[in-house]
Amino acid sequence: MPSRPLVTDDSAPGGGRRAREGRHTMTATTCEGCVCRSAVGAVAGSRLLVASNVAHTLAGVKRLARSAGLTVRDSRPGYVEVEGRAVPDLIDALALELTSVELAEARALVLCGDEETGTAPGDSHDRATELVGRALRAPTLAQLGARAAYGDVGRLLADEAAHFYSVYQPIVRLSDGGVAGHEALLRASGPEGPVMPEAMFTAAARAGWMHVLDRVGRTTALHGAAGWLGDDWLFVNFVPTTIYRPEVCLRTTERAALDAELRLDQIVFEITESEEVRDVDHLARLFDYYRSRGCRVALDDLGSGFSSLNMMIRLEPDVVKIDRETVQQLPGRTASAVVTAIVDIARAAGTIVLAEGVETAEQADAARELGVELAQGWHFGRPVTRTARAAELAAARPAFDAAPSGAARQWSLEVDPAVAVAASR
């Protein structure tokens, strides 16, 4: 099935070397057991091991534990063992008492009350090795506290098919107003109704669940586009730090495209400039991988800082999106100058320019006159549900407890998937 071009003029930027067509063979396997597969971890219990290189952090742990009536053991330098039924309450207290830097540095491992630490004489080598491995995978105190605080979001991730869906905002050609594509935006519905996206992503970032949420966002966007996308392009957001090795971590994404019967040349993977990029080389490898599979790549929020122009020059994306703050200042002099500079650089690289956040006809006209090819925003249409997912979500809600139960609280403290699976047998 041939794909109609995103820009109607074949001579427009991107119309040549980016006209990738056809289907591509995709790997159908998944990375089961990896960090992106589940937010569930090791079974919560009544013993807590806290390891830190900072003496005053451990002193604070001991002080709070003793004030809560917990048993404290600190026979070995560098870590403290705490035992008692009030361990979950201690985790909450530590989140309030310690500084953010202390919480981010200290590691915490939760054990069941009858589990040995592997330090007593006579412990088997296998048992000690198992516990060391679990300790190496343990979250920070900050993450452990966040998992307790955001247990409601964690429970949504535990049943992603029932609670997550995508809405789609149209992307139009400024030349003729025709729809060229859609951006997928992740949404969730809990027992009390819709979950605010900002709260959802904040919770995932703080609790160490971003790998799960990002994978859910990519696959949900693709599954939700099945049956109606046609030949339009689909913009899918991703966080580069959640992808360790693209040929492995993106298998589930490719499988979702295959299941939805979408061509890879329809998909535009988009990184938001607001996501801090510490390793540009890693991002460049991700872009290269996406392109090798036939996909396109986009940079978001261009114009919000000098670094964004450097990223554009370094990465040569297929599409760049001018940030809404700049677009909404059009046709102002400064905003017009910024847009003109981006368009000039994009034309030299063969990159398509998209203006986001367009809310008025005046902004759309100004962007078109400055050479911008594509646009999205409330002027053209708000994000909408394009599938029957809303009805499915409503039907699933009665089975989801609104109030956190004791079991749900224990779940929120889990840190190790392998141990959770073993404990359920």
CATH number of the domain bearing residue 205? 3.20.20.450
209 and 352 housed in the same domain: yes
Token pair, residue 209, equals 């669940």
| Percent of the chain at pLDDT exceeding 90 | 43
| Percent of the chain at pLDDT exceeding 70 | 73
Neighbouring C-beta atoms of residue 333, cutoff 10 Å: 7
Asked if residue 18 is part of any domain, the answer here is no
Report the alpha-carbon distance of residue 305 to residue 275 in Å, rounded.
13
417 and 347 housed in the same domain: no
Q: What is the pLDDT of residue 70?
A: 93
**Residue with more model confidence, 20 or 202:** 202
Residues 6+ apart with CB under 8 A from 230: none
Q: What is the pLDDT of residue 291?
A: 92
74 and 142 housed in the same domain: yes
Polymer length in residues for the chain: 425
Asked if residue 6 is part of any domain, the answer here is no
Whether residue 239 has pLDDT greater than 60: yes
User: How many domains does the chain fold into?
Assistant: 2
From the list 162, 180, 176, the residue with the least C-alpha distance to 216 is 162
Mean pLDDT over each residue of the chain, to the nearest integer: 78
Handedness of CA 176, 373, 299, 243 (dihedral sign): positive
Asked if residue 239 is part of any domain, the answer here is yes
Asked if residue 200 is part of any domain, the answer here is yes
236 and 378 housed in the same domain: yes
Q: What is the pLDDT of residue 32?
A: 56
354 and 264 housed in the same domain: yes
Task: Say if residues 268 and 234 touch (Cβ distance below 8 Å).
Answer: yes
Which pLDDT tens digit goes with each residue over 91-144? Answer: 889 988 888 888 988 988 888 755 555 444 445 656 666 777 677 778 899 998
Residue-range definition of the domain harbouring residue 81:
47-152+401-423
H-helix or E-strand spanning residue 60: helix 55-67
Query: What average pLDDT does range 12-27 have in this prediction?
Result: 37
Rank 15-19, 35-39, 190-194, 302-306 by mean pLDDT and report only the highest.
Answer: 190-194
Whether residue 270 has pLDDT greater than 60: yes
293 and 235 housed in the same domain: yes
213 and 230 housed in the same domain: yes
327 and 241 housed in the same domain: yes
Lowest mean pLDDT of 106-120, 160-174, 374-388, name the range. Answer: 106-120
Confidence of residue 400 (pLDDT cuts 50, 70, 90): very low
143 and 76 housed in the same domain: yes
Token pair, residue 223, equals 């599954």
266 and 362 housed in the same domain: yes
226 and 364 housed in the same domain: yes
Neighbouring C-beta atoms of residue 40, cutoff 10 Å: 20
Which pLDDT tens digit goes with each residue over 148-165? Answer: 888 889 889 988 888 999
Confidence of residue 54 (pLDDT cuts 50, 70, 90): confident
148 and 164 housed in the same domain: no
Query: What average pLDDT does range 375-389 have in this prediction?
Result: 86
Report the alpha-carbon distance of residue 317 to residue 311 in Å, rounded.
9
Asked if residue 20 is part of any domain, the answer here is no
Q: What is the pLDDT of residue 395?
A: 52
